[in-house]
């Protein structure tokens, strides 16, 4: 199942009380997607207050899950009591019972110790963890990797697999590009992703251990690069190259470097806006793709008419790439007169916007 479909199904799964487990190679965006669950569920339930707790399963033990046994002294006897577990508070710092419901999401669930899996297996089934019972409306979901991913997965137990609904997350280029646009990833990153899906979304762990390219590692490099070079001019010195290879691996770095070098040769946004009918349009498909993402990354409602004039000089398929990325970043663009007129002349563009 692709991640855009996962987003659509989240409210349905919650209403059904399904015990969901997302499974994929590392770094495909499972956790980032699930962070949107509270808003999606709340909207589907008429604004109910939905909480979210994120736990790293690989760091859990049984007592973390159930709380710690402490002694309470009474006048004539001593009593053993369990503390409230640390995860009983959401990221907002409130206890679970303060919400109308919510999701306890166990990331890296495949890496939990086997005994800990048994504890959470019961929580998936009945909502109970030792002495604690989840408040009404709270369910347990999780995510993990496959055993072939060499990511530290521990033994799976068949009776626990039988208590959950396993969803295989499929590589999804369009969902990733939409996320990158919405979250301000560099045009270079978006163009590299679009032109090299077999690298970014391969889902394969290299035979020899070391850094490799996934959506997570690529977007991490992007975030670091934007901090280092807020103006967008990446010098590609020895330090940059070492950091890039340390994030996405040497093989992927070679292709990303080519994209960065190509970007330095492309027409500047300011010149395109100033003279959209005369600035040269690139001929190579990879260059066209890069320019489309650059325009989508920077276009504003004020500049929309000029940018659209330039984009209309490209083959129509590149116009669709620009439109989808731009509208994911600034959804009010579709309301501008220039965009409306362009869309009315282009049926494929209308379909792309509707798909967004």
pLDDT single digits (tens) 299-334 = 998 999 999 999 999 998 898 899 889 988 888 887
pLDDT at 356: 53
- Residue range(s) of every CATH 3.40.50.300 domain in the chain: 3-168
Mean pLDDT of the chain: 91
Predicted TM-score (pTM) of the model is: 0.82
- Answer for the pair 108, 58: CB distance below 8 angstroms, yes or no: yes
Q: Are strands 69-73 and 128-129 parallel, antiparallel or unpaired?
A: unpaired
Residue % of the chain over a pLDDT of 90:
68
The mean per-residue pLDDT over the stretch 61-89 comes to 87
Residue 236 is encoded by which pair of tokens?
Answer: 């590609």
Return the higher-pLDDT residue of 51 and 71: 51
Dmax of the chain from CA atoms? 92
Structure tokens at 43: 């909207």
Residue 302's nearest CA partner among 332, 342, 345, 268 is 332
> Which position has the higher pLDDT, 89 or 68?
89
Least Cα distance to 119 among 145, 78, 87, 166 occurs for 87
Give the pLDDT mean for 146-175. 88
Query: pLDDT digit string (tens) for 13-64?
Result: 999 999 999 999 888 999 999 999 999 999 999 999 999 999 999 999 888 8
Strand, coil or helix: 327: helix
Residues with Cβ within 8 Å of 120's Cβ and at least 6 positions away in sequence, in order, are 57, 65, 106, 109, 112, 129, 140, 142
Distance, first Cα to last Cα, the chain: 18
The confidence band for 150, taking pLDDT boundaries of 50, 70 and 90, is confident
Average pLDDT over residues 5-19: 95
C-alpha torsion sign, points 157, 169, 20, 114: positive
Question: Which CATH number is associated with domain 3-168?
Answer: 3.40.50.300
SS3 141: strand
Give 63-113 as a DSSP string: HHHH--EEEEE-SS-EEEEEPPPGGGB-TTS-BGGGSSEEEEEEETGGGS-
As beta bridge partners, residue 102 has: 51, 138
> Are the C-beta atoms of 58 and 152 separated by less than 8 Å?
yes
What phi-psi label fits residue 105: left (phi over 0), alpha (psi between -120 and 50 degrees) or beta? Answer: beta
How confident is the model over 157-165, as a mean pLDDT?
A: 90
pLDDT score for 350: 61
- pLDDT number for residue 152: 82
The DSSP letter of residue 150 is: -
Q: Tell me: the pLDDT tens digits for 172-228?
A: 898 899 999 999 999 999 999 999 999 999 888 888 889 999 999 999 999 999 999
Question: What distance in Å separates the CA atoms of residue 159 and residue 147, rounded to the nearest whole number?
Answer: 18
Q: What is the pLDDT of residue 272?
A: 96
Phi/psi of residue 101, nearest 5 degrees? 160, -175
d(CA 203, CA 138): 32
Give percent of the chain above pLDDT 70: 97
């Amino acid at each position: 199942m692709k991640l855009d479909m996962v987003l659509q199904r989240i409210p349905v799964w919650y209403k059904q009380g399904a015990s969901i487990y997302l499974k994929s190679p590392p770094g495909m965006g499972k956790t980032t997607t699930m962070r949107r669950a509270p808003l999606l569920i709340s909207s589907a339930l008429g604004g109910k207050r939905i909480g979210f707790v994120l736990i790293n399963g690989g760091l859990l033990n049984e007592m973390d899950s159930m709380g710690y046994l402490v002694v309470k002294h009474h006048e004539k006897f001593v009593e053993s009591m369990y503390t409230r577990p640390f995860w009983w508070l959401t990221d907002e710092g409130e206890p679970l019972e303060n919400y109308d419901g919510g999701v306890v999401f166990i990331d890296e669930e495949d890496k939990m110790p086997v005994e800990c899996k048994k504890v959470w297996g019961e929580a998936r089934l009945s909502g109970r963890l030792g002495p604690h019972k989840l408040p009404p409306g709270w369910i347990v979901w999780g995510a993990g990797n496959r055993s072939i991913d060499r990511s530290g997965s521990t033994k799976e137990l068949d009776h626990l697999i039988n208590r959950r609904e396993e969803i295989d997350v499929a590589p999804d280029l369009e969902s990733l590009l939409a996320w990158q646009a919405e979250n301000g990833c560099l045009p270079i990153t978006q163009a590299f992703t679009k032109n090299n899906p077999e690298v970014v979304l391969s889902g394969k762990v290299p035979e020899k251990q070391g850094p490799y390219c996934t959506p997570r590692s690529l977007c991490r490099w992007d975030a670091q690069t934007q901090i280092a070079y807020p103006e967008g001019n990446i010098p590609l010195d020895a330090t940059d190259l070492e950091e890039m290879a340390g994030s996405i691996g040497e093989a992927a770095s070679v292709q990303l470097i080519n994209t960065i070098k190509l970007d330095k040769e492309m027409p500047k946004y300011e010149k395109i806006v100033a003279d959209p009918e005369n600035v040269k349009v690139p001929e190579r498909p990879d260059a066209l793709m890069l320019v489309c993402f650059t325009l989508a990354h920077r276009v504003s409602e004020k500049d929309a008419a000029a940018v659209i004039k330039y984009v209309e000089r490209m083959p129509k398929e590149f116009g669709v790439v620009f439109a989808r990325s731009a509208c994911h970043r600034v959804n009010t663009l579709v309301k501008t007169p220039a965009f409306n007129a362009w869309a009315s002349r282009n049926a494929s563009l209308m379909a792309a916007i509707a798909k967004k």
